[in-house]
Amino acid sequence: MQFYDWLLFLHVASAFALVSALVVFWSIAIAAANVDRPVDSLRYFRIARPATILVVVGTIGTLVFGIWLAIDADAYQVWDGWVLAALVLWAIAAGTGQRGGQTYGEAQKLAQRLAGEGRAEEPSAELRTLLQDRRAMWLNVISSLAVLLLLVDMIYKPGA
């Protein structure tokens, strides 16, 4: 394998990390939609922990290795239309995903605080509200759609 092939593998592996993390987050978001007890929500947050690392690795990796690939390959330039479109989609996905994730971060902190106070088994309306926050859900929908469009852009390479 040549250097370009390794770069391509690292770029694709980063994309897999990113999409995989989104799949884990969505699985949890759907499964935990009606959860209101801290003890239950903390179980889901434990499953999300590796995905939280993967989403950071995937987001940074796709950008770094993607730009590196565009510089390394003679066939592509960073200012090609489809590369610029990918950069815009990446920024939308990262920005909305990060903002959407903040609400779940707050829910996790609340659940940990309530559990620390010995109220892990008691239903919490505040926790339920955070876990069902529609704004956070829509931000995550936009983020996921941007990632899907990124994938389409990467495969179709319009204008290349």
Partner 1 sequence: MSVLAAIRPDDWNFPLLVHVLGATLLVGGLIAAVTALLLGWRRDSAFYTRFGFRSLLLVALPAWFIMRIGAQWIYSKENFSEDDEPGWLGIGYLTADLGGLLLLLTIVLTGIGARRMREGEGPSVLGRLGGVLATLVLLGYIVAVWAMSGKPD
Nearer to partner 1, 17 or 94 (CB): 17
| Residues contacting residue 67 through CB under 8 Å, at least 6 positions apart | 78
Structure tokens at 62: 């796709």
Nearer to partner 1, 20 or 132 (CB): 20
Residue 124 C-beta: closest distance to partner 1, Å: 19
Residue 23 C-beta: closest distance to partner 1, Å: 2
Residue 72 C-beta: closest distance to partner 1, Å: 10
Structure tokens at 77: 């330039």
Query: Contact 24/51 with Cβ under 8 angstroms?
Result: yes
List residues binding partner 1 (CB under 8 A). Answer: 1-2, 4-6, 8-9, 11-13, 15-16, 19-24, 27-28, 31, 43, 46-47, 49-51, 54, 73-75, 148, 151-152, 155-157, 160
Residue 89 C-beta: closest distance to partner 1, Å: 15
Nearer to partner 1, 92 or 151 (CB): 151
Rg of the chain in Å (alpha carbons): 19
Residue type for position 156? Y
Nearer to partner 1, 5 or 134 (CB): 5
